[in-house]
Structure 1
């Protein structure tokens, strides 16, 4: 598989660092060239306008670019040149005029937009839309270009007579016993077509045809919400450059930063693509994770086009039996955003900046709204129209992506990486056991260590609560306060130093009890009474403490996404009021000590609990009855 590289501007900006757009140095514009002033014949023009690579010897011509080169005026110009050369006299016999050839090279009439852009290169992939893309009129433009590059114009009449046109490319060759190349048996009546060509010229034809069959990546012209799956073979030249310095490991896959040639994709109008400045994220799902590829692509197909706070899946690809997902390249993730952006506080006026607060509130509402959409998909998104429930399972700052936006200078936050998300029927909505569940160490909820614990919608509410709590830390004190909170949470948990948000202690009778870490509750009180804390953040902290970071018990449940969205929406409506969103609040609240929940630990946690039992503190506060393992399995 060839992966060409393009010449890039030396003064390119790092999108991940600054959000600035990366400029692309285009090749020579075909429209700027005239015969005698830049080229002498078609072959010279093609060479001047080929794709520019910085690390590959192979050239290529995307279809959109090729059609800018091969105008009717230039085709006639080249045919007139050939007509004046004696060795091509036979081409114009039998009333075959210049305009007769021109109509075959560039048939009159319009073609479907997908064909104009190069999607007819479907011979290189399998695609549910492949049927119907080819034109009913035979076109010989690429055949003519190939013969120009191979200096074999004399064979053009033969190709027309036997009916081999652009739709038949790529032609497949096989070696004979004499080490010659001939057409495969796909064309039994045309095997003599290359009989008078020498071997190097046939090899040039065979190689060059792929340089004219460049994939064009796009949504179908008729439906921008439909996401294609395409499959490419080893001969395909992929029109992108890979930036190895930006290669990262994402959940269940390796993510590469690529720049697709602007003439080889139709994603330009999408806001996230424009924000990415022409960069894309190509996520490779390894063979052993094929289930995650199918799962993530399915989930994104269902949701990404129906809420702007989901990352946009553009296309799915199979390249030489390797599976990929293509997304716009995000400016950064939320963790990087927190470390590189100043919080919304105005140090001179001693209050929150109104526009930044409005933006932050909109983003929080948007993320909650997207999660609610995810937890409660509308029936029109479900192919079988059976009521179902979805859950994400891996909400964390690294999976919240920031994109620059034309609509808002502060950009937009979106939920990404749906690798372990799932959608289940109502009666089995949360049936993934905790012992096989991958989870983010910092944000993992208590269910990960409890018998019967599952990844559920309640699981997502806990992780979102952890994320929002850290968001409040950043908003009130920037990276310094966020870092301090992480360090304060770093205490031993069943013999291991960790900064998770819950703890296990022993009860008076030696059993295990789970509770929100005392330091986390103390920190919520500290934030609530912080000198910069507005009433908006106090309400957000109340929601986090009372309804989100809650250990499940027979008496306590976490809030569902619908009621949570109602609370957040009401807060967002009031954030424009200076006394609510900008100025520090005079209200004070100290949250009560956490309540412990007697629980059944799973095998792994129970073993660790037993090993450090003698060193654990006995919990002296209120203890609630925990859910049984069966009840845990039924959590929504």
Structure 2
């Protein structure tokens, strides 16, 4: 409970997607600096026993009057300038403070002439005898909030008038009527300042990146029940993330950088509901969403950091347990991606024509979160895939036909098909980006952030089509032909040589050799007419096998190998018009291709998934969807 704001608000909503919390969400509203009109969750469990802490105070100063107790034990928050008093009372806390004994003593002070039966009637209406069971619907027919507000206003004696007139907590919050919404009044065409909504623009361009910002927020433990329900009912997810009592991650979409704010919100929400920690413990778990004053927000467990920050701040200890942890995370991430690519959990009740397939579209270190499980120092935590904002989910008949004109993703992990005419954003797009991430992970394992920085420096030696050096993993070269219609795309020599560098590293083990071979030969590949990347179905089996083989102690013993360097064969590629225009405008001098005859260009991007693999059943795509 918090004091009703002076300003009216629109009708936002909080929706809990994973579980229904066991606490009233009015604490959530205040913790996020929102007015109580945001709404309340539908379940709560006020404690009976004052020795039960669960984040609530044990009240021993029983001689103080109720108003004083309420003020002392309110949950403080930073002032938001919204007219609130900087504190709030979650419903659980109100039940702790306003016990039946204390309420009864207060009533006897104000209603000395009442009989015991009359006092009992008021008491039962204010403070129920029995606390609702966990998961039950909250009963707003009582008056505990109204009684608390009247007590704070030194008007506790008026509670009988509210009860006799049929009022209860379901009338709250009481707000001042905004003049532009008063009945029978002329509405202004201007935007209501008290509403604080923005006018919708007809056309709004989308920028690369910056779709949302994430902040850490505190929610009083008595205002939610996420931790309890996760631990009791979904033990696998709870063990994977060790949900904090108070700190959560709040992701807010940036309205100014999207053409359709609500559509983006609903799209990401749909992906998060399809692919989450309940489906696989290496996928992020959505807890709740809300929209308020044009802002669309997602609430998640709060990770310690993303993978990029983890690599930078953590020096790996090269031992059996660390190598086993890396292998486990790679196998887990690969399995999670395969679930997105081929979500069998969604196909059980669908016929083949209705089956749908997904892709992530933005795999990068920033979108992999690290959760420190904390209690055991030997536990190195867990990596979880996040940010489903660019994730797409398409019918079987259209899953590979998405053109690449609006492809974003991490610039360094950008696959070649982004610049090649006819290139589509298929699931094999994810395989390239995941291969880049895995290669960096093994680099970090062998030499920490220092070796990772060296790898990036090696990749920065070749100019990209923009005229600037770039850390992308491929390069565009010029054919030694009179025509300029065809170029060559190939994996950078620096990347190919880096594989050799890691194979020769003094700490390199059989596991790392095998993982490097999979990444080089099946993932980081410029696709041609006769060579494609492996599917997630194949790679899930490969990385699972590697992890299981780590039971052999020799698998983690150093075993450096000398590998012979062979330059990667290029692939003929006609560039997209925008890529060709970029080269011309930047004046970039494209280097000539030197090497074996390039492989024939790929002309059937639309049929990338037109294959039947073990564990997946796919049919031919049918048409453009974007």
- 1:72-111 alpha-carbon deviations (Å, 9 max, x no partner): 1111121222244xxxx4xx27x75322221111233443
Q: Given the alignment of the two structures, is residue 501 of structure 1 paired with residue 473 of structure 2, yes or no? A: yes
Q: CA deviation at 1:575?
A: 1.5
Name the CA distance, whole Å, in 1 between partners of 2:109 and 2:61. Answer: 14
The structure with the largest helix share of the pair is 1
Name the CA distance, whole Å, in 2 between partners of 1:526 and 1:166. Answer: 69
SS at match of 1:437: coil
Q: Partner residue of 1:162?
A: 165
Aligned equivalent of 2:572, options 577, 587, 598:
598
Q: Partner residue of 2:372?
A: 404
Name the CA distance, whole Å, in 1 between partners of 2:162 and 2:265. Answer: 43
Q: Given the alignment of the two structures, is residue 285 of structure 1 paired with residue 313 of structure 2, yes or no? A: no
SS at match of 2:545: helix
- Of residues 393-402 and 278-287 in structure 1, the stretch that sits farther from structure 2 once superposed is 278-287
Q: Is the 8 A contact 1:280 1:327 kept in 2?
A: yes
Q: Partner residue of 2:448?
A: 478
Q: Given the alignment of the two structures, is residue 341 of structure 1 paired with residue 318 of structure 2, yes or no? A: no
Q: CA deviation at 1:458?
A: 0.3
Q: Is the 8 A contact 2:503 2:560 kept in 1?
A: no
Name the CA distance, whole Å, in 1 between partners of 2:262 and 2:92. Answer: 34
- 1:52-75 alpha-carbon deviations (Å, 9 max, x no partner): 234463332111111111211111
Name the CA distance, whole Å, in 1 between partners of 2:402 and 2:369. Answer: 26
Q: Partner residue of 2:295?
A: 322
Q: Partner residue of 1:62?
A: 90
SS at match of 2:454: helix
Q: CA deviation at 1:562?
A: 1.0
- 1:4-28 alpha-carbon deviations (Å, 9 max, x no partner): 679xxxxxxxxxxxxxxxxxxx999
* TM-score, with length taken from structure 1: 0.75
Name the CA distance, whole Å, in 1 between partners of 2:363 and 2:491. Answer: 19
- 1:203-225 alpha-carbon deviations (Å, 9 max, x no partner): xxxxxxxxxxxxxxxxxxxxxxx
Q: CA deviation at 1:30?
A: 5.0
Q: Is the 8 A contact 2:147 2:159 kept in 1?
A: yes
Gaps of 5+ in 1: 7-25, 116-132, 177-183, 186-232, 236-248, 346-352
The structure with the largest strand share of the pair is 1
Q: Partner residue of 2:68?
A: 44
Q: CA deviation at 1:364?
A: 0.7
Q: Given the alignment of the two structures, is residue 153 of structure 1 paired with residue 126 of structure 2, yes or no? A: no
Q: Given the alignment of the two structures, is residue 465 of structure 1 paired with residue 432 of structure 2, yes or no? A: no
After superposition, the Cα gap between the structure-2 partners of 1:173 and 1:277, relative to the gap in structure 1 and judged at 3 Å, is closer
Q: Given the alignment of the two structures, is residue 562 of structure 1 paired with residue 537 of structure 2, yes or no? A: yes
Q: Partner residue of 1:263?
A: 222
Name the CA distance, whole Å, in 1 between partners of 2:125 and 2:508. Answer: 73
Name the CA distance, whole Å, in 1 between partners of 2:379 and 2:54. Answer: 31
The number of residues matched between the two structures is 512
SS at match of 1:423: strand
After superposition, the Cα gap between the structure-2 partners of 1:536 and 1:46, relative to the gap in structure 1 and judged at 3 Å, is same
Q: Is the 8 A contact 1:29 1:49 kept in 2?
A: no
Aligned equivalent of 2:463, options 484, 492, 514:
492
Q: Given the alignment of the two structures, is residue 541 of structure 1 paired with residue 507 of structure 2, yes or no? A: no
Aligned equivalent of 1:391, options 359, 373, 382:
359
Q: Partner residue of 1:361?
A: 327
SS at match of 1:147: helix
Q: Given the alignment of the two structures, is residue 80 of structure 1 paired with residue 108 of structure 2, yes or no? A: yes
After superposition, the Cα gap between the structure-2 partners of 1:29 and 1:111, relative to the gap in structure 1 and judged at 3 Å, is closer
Q: CA deviation at 1:368?
A: 0.4
Q: Given the alignment of the two structures, is residue 253 of structure 1 paired with residue 212 of structure 2, yes or no? A: yes
* TM-score, with length taken from structure 2: 0.76
SS at match of 1:432: coil
Q: Given the alignment of the two structures, is residue 104 of structure 1 paired with residue 63 of structure 2, yes or no? A: no
Aligned equivalent of 1:635, options 604, 608, 614:
608
Q: Partner residue of 1:202?
A: none
Q: CA deviation at 1:526?
A: 1.4
After superposition, the Cα gap between the structure-2 partners of 1:500 and 1:250, relative to the gap in structure 1 and judged at 3 Å, is closer
- 1:405-454 alpha-carbon deviations (Å, 9 max, x no partner): 15762100010111101110111103321111112110000011011112
After superposition, the Cα gap between the structure-2 partners of 1:4 and 1:387, relative to the gap in structure 1 and judged at 3 Å, is closer
SS at match of 1:585: coil
SS at match of 2:214: strand
Q: Given the alignment of the two structures, is residue 430 of structure 1 paired with residue 400 of structure 2, yes or no? A: yes
Q: CA deviation at 1:159?
A: 1.4
Name the CA distance, whole Å, in 2 between partners of 1:282 and 1:528. Answer: 42
- 1:294-344 alpha-carbon deviations (Å, 9 max, x no partner): 221111111112111011111111112210011112111111111111123
- 1:380-419 alpha-carbon deviations (Å, 9 max, x no partner): 3788662111000110111111001157621000101111
Q: Is the 8 A contact 1:251 1:419 kept in 2?
A: no
Gaps of 5+ in 2: 6-28, 33-52, 184-193, 197-207, 231-237, 610-626
Name the CA distance, whole Å, in 2 between partners of 1:344 and 1:381. Answer: 42
Name the CA distance, whole Å, in 2 between partners of 1:447 and 1:171. Answer: 57
Name the CA distance, whole Å, in 1 between partners of 2:454 and 2:509. Answer: 21
Name the CA distance, whole Å, in 2 between partners of 1:28 and 1:595. Answer: 62
Q: Is the 8 A contact 2:431 2:533 kept in 1?
A: yes
SS at match of 2:542: helix
Name the CA distance, whole Å, in 2 between partners of 1:420 and 1:622. Answer: 37
Q: Is the 8 A contact 2:402 2:425 kept in 1?
A: yes
- 1:568-627 alpha-carbon deviations (Å, 9 max, x no partner): 1111111232211x2111543335320111012101222345565865223332311011
Name the CA distance, whole Å, in 1 between partners of 2:589 and 2:56. Answer: 77
Name the CA distance, whole Å, in 1 between partners of 2:576 and 2:553. Answer: 49
Q: Is the 8 A contact 2:478 2:590 kept in 1?
A: no
Q: CA deviation at 1:146?
A: 2.1
Q: Is the 8 A contact 2:79 2:86 kept in 1?
A: no
Q: CA deviation at 1:144?
A: 1.9
Name the CA distance, whole Å, in 2 between partners of 1:314 and 1:250. Answer: 24
Q: Partner residue of 1:219?
A: none
- Of residues 371-380 and 165-174 in structure 1, the stretch that sits farther from structure 2 once superposed is 165-174
